[in-house]
Structure 1
């Protein structure tokens, strides 16, 4: 039996083109999750094209068309039965999952920023109104001296106090900051109340430090000290707060008809991506604090440190705002 080839191609080509387009989308973004309807359609098109190839092999001698269909069916078979993507592709998908998850929950991030700013305002106000509260508000004892005295000590230092222990100091900073970020996320299990406390407390400390140094006329020193590491450390803690509010939202389920277990499944991937991304930022922040932030003028000019910190912040904003967009 010889098939009517022109009519056969006219009838079936629409399915070949659809399968070709679907395979190109999968290959362009291998890490994306396909909905069930799309998976079923892929399987149907694969079976239909396989049947078309079998008919061509049996009833027609058209080598170029057979080669095209063999390639199409082979690609579809590989996508359906593949169990492990190339490592390079998987890393790309993991990196892009972070900014995509961030953008899907901007409301939670804005809430995190708002509560931290409220804490900053409170810390600033209390510090300005009652300087004696410094002992309570400052996050560590090294800030108890007056700003002018500390700046004079730092700028006149002749010995590198971190010599031989920068890596250890950096690791300690990373560990502590990652612990705070994970705490901000995990505290979301308290319906978000714990996350609010963590963010507000961090904001109070930051506001108090800023009020002390700005009030002492040391704004430039403050910016040069905080920006190299703070431009990634502070956003990372805010991201931890964002994750905490996402978790709280899934727990509470405002206006959702889904079960609690289903709500947790829906946000689980985004929570992992955000917290993992924040942890990476904190690793970088720990290195910057140990190797850059702790060195002041004349070792590293203030302008250079401030400029570097601003560039970090702009780069992070661009990455979170634009990376992975379709």
Structure 2
């Protein structure tokens, strides 16, 4: 069949121009989502341009047109058939309400492992302090915890003014920085096949268990709960989430019964690890605010019942968020 080249070019060029405009629009906004109708139209324009290129390839005339069409078809092919994932614009609300809680639930086994190690540490710390009171300097990480619970409670309850006036913002930032550093250290130790993370989580549990046993045995359980619950119900789970991320990393490195290469396993797990680490950091920001502006104030400034109730509400909300929010 003889091709009327000028007529053919005149008829097809509008479709090429339309395809070029669509591809330019995609390049200008790579995060845009095409509708089904737009995708169908793109596929049609690509197939039509490819067909035209095949017909033009038999002609030695119009080399510039053929070169232009070759480039256009190649661009369209990359959009329609390339085996790659398009990066999506970060949407904070979507990440907070769907991505993070869904990732948490998908990797729940790693969180349970982190929690089990911490609980084991709590039990060990409690038992060690009960069996040997002289072990207190070894079990507790801060010098401020060395004083007797009775003296600590008496000192805190004697406060009448705002002892953190003018410094709450600075103190809150320091708490956030320290806790996020601990969380990210826990996460990074996943590179030790999880061994370092396991040790750190267990030790955190030991310190928590020792402090809890010390105040409970002295009869200051209410003070302990009022002191730790407001920020601890978020801070401790945040460290566990960091541990969860570390065990996701460790699993990708070890590759339990996995046939894929380590590089591929790490690439597939990278998104979940970053999501969990980011979620832990966000939780610790909130915990730092609560600890500086609320937890440090005790009876008679704030009644213990109010502080305990606040912690219970926080924990309930966090549990609902992590286990229920974002379900389809």
TM over 0.5: yes
Taking structure 2 as the reference length, what is the TM-score of the superposition?
0.74
- What is the CA deviation profile of residues 23-66 of structure 1, one whole-angstrom value per residue up to 9, with x for unaligned ones? xxxxxxxx9x9xxxxx9x99457535999xxxxxxxxxxxxxxx
Q: Distance in 2 between matches of 1:134 and 1:249?
A: 35
Gaps of 5+ in 1: 1-30, 34-38, 52-79
Deviations along 1:226-246, one digit per CA (max 9) or x if unpaired, are 011001000000001101110
Task: Tell me how far apart the structure 2 counterparts of residues 251 and 44 of structure 1 sit (CA, whole Å).
Answer: 41
Aligned mate of 2:278, from 257, 276, 279: 276
Q: Does 1:191 align with 2:193?
A: yes
Aligned to 2:146: 144
Shift of 1:146: 1.1
CA distance in 2, matches of 1:226, 1:98: 25
- Give the structure 1 partner of residue 156 of structure 2: 154
2:310 to 275, 297, 308: 308
Q: Could you tell me which residue of structure 1 aligns to residue 207 of structure 2?
A: 205
Check if 1:109 corresponds to 2:88: no
Q: Output one character per residue of 1:162-200: Cα deviation in whole Å (capped at 9) or x when no partner.
A: 121111111111011001110111101001100001101
After superposition, the Cα gap between the structure-2 partners of 1:299 and 1:259, relative to the gap in structure 1 and judged at 3 Å, is: same
User: Quick check: 2:187–2:245 contact (8 Å CA) kept in 1?
Assistant: yes
Partner of 1:133: 135
CA deviation string 1:182-225 (max 9, x = no partner): 01111010011000011011000000000000000000110000
- Looking at structure 2, the residues matched to 172 and 301 of structure 1 have their Cα atoms a distance apart, in angstroms, of 26
Are 2:43 and 1:47 equivalent residues in the alignment?
yes
Residues 295-304 or 135-144, more deviating: 135-144
- For the pair shown, which has the larger CA radius of gyration, 1 or 2? 2
TM-score normalised over the length of structure 1 = 0.74
Render the CA deviation track for 1:3-31: whole Å, top value 9, x for unaligned: xxxxxxxxxxxxxxxxxxxxxxxxxxxx9
Equivalence for 1:240 = 242
Which residue number corresponds to residue 92 of structure 2? 91
Cα RMSD, aligned residues only:
2.6
Cα drift, residue 277 of structure 1:
0.7
How many residue pairs get matched?
A: 260
2:225 to 201, 205, 223: 223
Q: Counterpart in 2 of 1:325?
A: 327
Cα displacement string for residues 297-316 of structure 1 (whole angstroms, at most 9, x for unaligned residues) = 11111011000011111111
CA distance in 2, matches of 1:295, 1:182: 29
Indicate the larger mover: 132-141 or 242-251.
132-141
> How far apart, CA to CA, are the structure 1 residues paired with 2:279 and 2:46?
43
Tell me, yes or no, if the aligned pair for 2:160 and 2:301 is still in contact at 8 Å: no
Aligned-residue offset at 1:139: 2.0
Q: Distance in 1 between matches of 2:292 and 2:93?
A: 29
**1:159, distance to aligned residue in structure 2 (A):** 3.6
